[in-house]
Chain A
Amino acid sequence: MPANPLSLLDNVRSCNGMDGLRNFYSNLLKKDREKALELINDQYMKFGTLYQLRYECSSPQVDKALNPLYRKALQIIPELSGRAVRHSEAVMRSDGDSTCPALRWMLKTGFDEDELGDVYDQIMEHTAALLTRSFHDADLLPEIAEMIFIKNRSGKLIHELVWAFFEARKPESLTLITQRLISTDSRDVGLAKRLLCFIPCIRENSNVPMSIVHAKAMTWLQKNLPFLYYTGESLHLSGHPLLYAVEWNAKYLCRPVSAGDGELLSILNPFENELIKHFEELPENSRRILADFSYMLYRSNFRQWTHWIQLPLASQENLAVRYMGGLA
């Protein structure tokens, strides 16, 4: 997909810096108001540029002429920059039809700015958190992931962005982190390992090349995705948070879970309830092997699986051990 053209004001900012942009726009407003209003309403303008011109845009004459999306973005900046009033989140949510598109535009065009200062960074963090938590909008997770790694490379705070990313509770988005395992930048690799340390092959401290670790991690995700749930851990709680976990009962029964809390998405029948009762009595390692075997068989040969799952637990274990290589 071709990249959007750069707006003239973005161009001025990129060539002349922030002060240059503000000088240029102030002068233009005085000399040619019509042109100034046309430029500020450019559909391809980035949020970073509007943010830099927020004071120039606060005059009623400019504000009135701004397109609704940009006006909304300017309106919510105070709440997003850490001056939140108690009800502002609820107000934004109730006004979702105009707030959500503004937040999306801000994040989509403003995620890769790394030089606009602490307040801007905080605005981006809050924008990301509002989108994933209040609006349950996961479309921009790639941009949030990119922002996390950009900030990490420059030694900036990433805690709140990581939190916003994982609060989306979308296990499928983990591939956005996994792909950083093979980044050429060691800082990316280090962070990806930290965030994915719930995956066994990443936890193991070995000298295996990262391309192999990446392949193993992707395979593990594929084998566990329907049974992963968000634990609620964060970088505030631990340096190596276990952000996701596998719901082994669900994997054993091959029933997907809610990624938010690990609850089964369907009601179990009496037979399944009985199975789980016995399954839960097993040691953790046995449960893990049985669950892995169960889902593997379920995917490869459903008829065999329906037969296997009805066997007594001891027979199930025997078959699983024979196939999977023994209970360690």
Chain B
Amino acid sequence: MIKIAGAELDLKKFLEKYPLESVESEIVEKLSKSSRTYVYASEDELLFETGMRRNIIKASMELYRGRLGFRTFHESKCNEDFWIRREDGGFELKKNVKASDGIRDIFKNMRKYATECATAIVIIFYAAVLESFGENLFNTAFTELTLMNWMQMDELMGIVTYRKLMDYLPGDCRYFKNPDVNPLTPEWQGENTIDLSGGNYYGHGIGIGNSERIIKVLNDNRVEDAQASAYLMDTATRPNFENLYEYKKHAAAVTVMPPVPIPAPAAVAAPATPIPVPAITVTPATPTPAATVTPPAPVPVPPSPA
């Protein structure tokens, strides 16, 4: 069930917003039919989450179509005009580069990049936020980016791995584990995938397919006398949609805030003679911190599924 501001969602009316069989419909229907109650503060918040999940899927499809290369962390590569390749195989945004430009370059110059599956998912999540936030807000929110794995993601993303959930949704990152992997090819120990809806997954380095296909590819990379098959784990890794929504909402509120009314000054006659200006003494400048735009602090929200 979905509750919006305490009241049950009018599913039929809400679904009118989306084309039939769209990803958003699948998400909302799944949440509505669940025995668990999903609580949203407003319809806008639900729209944000479904929209961002769609953007996650869109970014996955773009990485797939653009054929982003697969390489282990040891051999990863990036466009060094935008990123610095770190010793651990992750990419760090260069100081003079805007976060949005860094992310967009991956999609524009894909052949200059090659990564492992976890980094691909990190790229997908950031690309989805860029799409949902727009360039200006994205660049305010993220000034330093590291693309590697979950640990290096910005706190605002609020990445959490949930276990044993009642409902898994399109846009979730799901993990396929390969317990009998060949230890000489540990890159096949598992696959981070994006649930594309309709039972399909995108796994970087494997491609798009249903769970059987992903499992088959992993099984092909096991030790010779393997006993255990690869399997889909009971986990889902998600950004904190609620947190991101609150951030966007507060940023929007700041942007559209009406100007503070200032009473019109009383008519003052211009002085006949110029007001004497005191001489300015130049003293060695004390270093002052560069002016920074402080984004509204993200509202701390306890992590909750969906």
Q: Which residue numbers of A lie inside 8 Å of B, CB to CB?
A: 79-80, 82, 84, 87-90, 118, 121-122, 125-126, 129-130, 133-134, 154-160, 163-164, 167, 194, 232-242
Highest count of chain B CB atoms <10 Å: which of A121, A156, A157, A164: A157
Tell which of A87, A130, A164, A238 touches B150, judged by Cβ atoms closer than 8 Å: A238
Q: Which residue of chain A has its CB nearest to the CB of B235?
A: A237
| From B86, B179, B186, contact of A155 by CB (8 A) | B86
Q: Are B183 and A130 in contact (CB under 8 A)?
A: yes
Give B121 Cβ to nearest chain A Cβ, in Å: 10
Rounded to whole angstroms, the CA-CA distance of A130 and B9 in the bound complex is 54
A82 close to B161 (CB less than 8 A): no
Contacts A159-B73, A235-B149, A239-B151 given: A129-B186 contact, CB under 8 Å?
yes
Using Cβ atoms and an 8 Å threshold, which residues of chain A touch B163?
242
Of all chain B residues, which has the CB nearest A260? B179
Distance in angstroms between the alpha carbons of A192 and B223 in the assembled complex: 30
Q: Is B183 in contact with A82, judged by CB distance below 8 angstroms? A: no
Distance of A214 Cα from B87 Cα, bound (Å): 31
CB pair B182 A237 closer than 8 Å = no
Q: With a CB–CB cut-off of 8 A, which chain A residues contact B159?
A: 239
| Contact between chains at B184 and A89 (CB < 8 Å) | yes
- Closest Cβ neighbor of A230 among chain B residues: B179
Kindly list chain B residues whose C-beta atoms are within 8 Å of the C-beta of A157: 73-74, 87-89
Residues from chain A with a CB closer than 8 A to the CB of B182 are 84, 89
In the complex, the answer to whether B183 meets A79 with C-beta atoms within 8 Å is no
Which residue in A130, A164, A237 is a CB contact (below 8 Å) of B161? Answer: A237
Question: Given the complex of chains A and B, what is the CA–CA distance between A206 and B151 in angstroms?
Answer: 20
Q: Is the CB of A84 within 8 A of B74?
A: no
Which residue among B150, B163, B184, B233 has the maximum number of chain A CB atoms within 10 Å of its CB?
A: B184
B184 in contact with A237 (CB, 8 Å): no
- CB atoms of B161 and A240 under 8 A apart: yes
- Is the pair B183, A236 in contact by a Cβ cutoff of 8 Å? no
User: With A82-B74, A89-B223, A239-B150 in contact, is A232–B235 under 8 Å at CB?
Assistant: no
Known: A89-B224, A121-B74, A234-B189. A130 touches B184 (CB 8 A): yes
Q: How many A-B residue pairs have CB under 8 A?
A: 92
Contacts of B215 in A (CB 8 A): none
A80 to B185, CA, bound (A): 10
Q: Is the CB of A238 within 8 A of B237?
A: yes
Complexed CA–CA distance, A237 and B191 (Å): 8
Chain B hits for A232, CB < 8 A:
177, 179, 233
- The residue of chain A having its C-beta at the shortest distance from the C-beta of B161 within the complex is A238
Measured CA separation A177–B118 after assembly (Å): 24
In the complex, chain B residues 161-203 whose Cβ is within 8 Å of any chain A Cβ: 161, 163, 175, 177, 179, 182-186, 189-190, 192
Residues of A within 8 Å of B118, CB to CB, are 236
Could you give, for residues 4-32 of chain B, a 1 whenever the CB lies within 8 Å of some chain A CB and a 0 otherwise? 00000000000000000000000000000
- What count of chain B residues pass the 8 Å CB interface test? 35
Provide the residues of chain B in CB contact with A240, threshold 8 Å. 161
- CB 8 Å contact bits of B50-73 with A (1 = contact, 0 = none): 000000000000000000000011
| Cβ–Cβ contact A88 & B73, under 8 A | no
Interface 0/1 of B213-229, CB less than 8 Å to A: 00000000001110000
The CA-CA distance from A163 to B149 in the complex, in Å, is 15
A237 to B, closest residue via Cβ: B175
By the criterion CB–CB under 8 Å, are A237 and B233 in contact?
yes
B237 & A237 in contact (Cβ 8 Å cutoff): yes
Of all chain A residues, the one with the shortest Cβ separation from B175 is A237
Smallest CB–CB gap between B176 and chain A, Å?
10
The 6 sampled A-B contact pairs (Cβ below 8 Å) are A129-B184, A134-B223, A157-B89, A164-B183, A237-B175, A237-B233
Asked whether A156 lies within 8 Å of B87 as measured between CB atoms, the reply is yes
- Asked if B235 contacts A236 (CB within 8 A), the reply is no
Instruction: Please determine whether A87 and B183 come into contact, CB atoms closer than 8 angstroms.
Output: no
Enumerate chain A residues within 8 angstroms of B153, measured Cβ to Cβ: 239
Please, how many angstroms separate the alpha-carbon atoms of A134 and B226 in the complex?
11
Chain A positions within 8 Å of B224 at CB level:
87, 89-90
Taking the closest CB of chain B, its distance from the CB of A199, in whole angstroms, is 16
A126-B179 in contact (CB<8A): no
A126 contact from B73, B151, B184, Cβ within 8 A? B184
- A154 contacts across to B, CB distance below 8 A: 87
CB distance from A247 to the nearest CB of B (A): 15
Is there an interface contact between B189 and A163, defined as CB atoms closer than 8 Å?
yes
Question: Given A156-B87, A238-B150, A122–B74 Cβ distance below 8 Å?
Answer: yes
- Min Cβ gap B11→A in Å is 31
Cα A19 to Cα B219 with chains together (Å): 44
**Contact present for B190 and A159 (CB under 8 Å):** no
Q: List the B side residues contacting A133 at CB < 8 Å.
A: 183
Shortest distance in angstroms between A221's beta carbon and chain B's nearest beta carbon? 21
Selected from B151, B179, B184, the residue in CB contact (under 8 A) with A79 is: B184
Give which listed residue, B75, B184, B237, contacts A84 with CB less than 8 A.
B184
B88 near A125 (CB under 8 angstroms)? no
Q: Which of A118, A164, A236 has the most CB of B within 10 A?
A: A236
A82-B74, A87-B224 known; A129-B183 Cβ under 8 A: yes
Closest-CB distance, A136 to chain B (whole angstroms): 12
Give the distance in Å from the alpha carbon of A122 to the alpha carbon of B185 in the complex. Answer: 11
The complex places the Cα of A79 from the Cα of B182 at a distance, in Å, of 12
Taking the closest CB of chain A, its distance from the CB of B263, in whole angstroms, is 49
Q: Which chain B residues border A155 with CB–CB below 8 Å?
A: 86-88
Give the distance in Å from the alpha carbon of A134 to the alpha carbon of B150 in the complex. 29
Given contacts A157-B74, A240-B161, contact A84 B185 (CB under 8 A): yes
B residues less than 8 Å from A84 (CB atoms): 182, 184-185
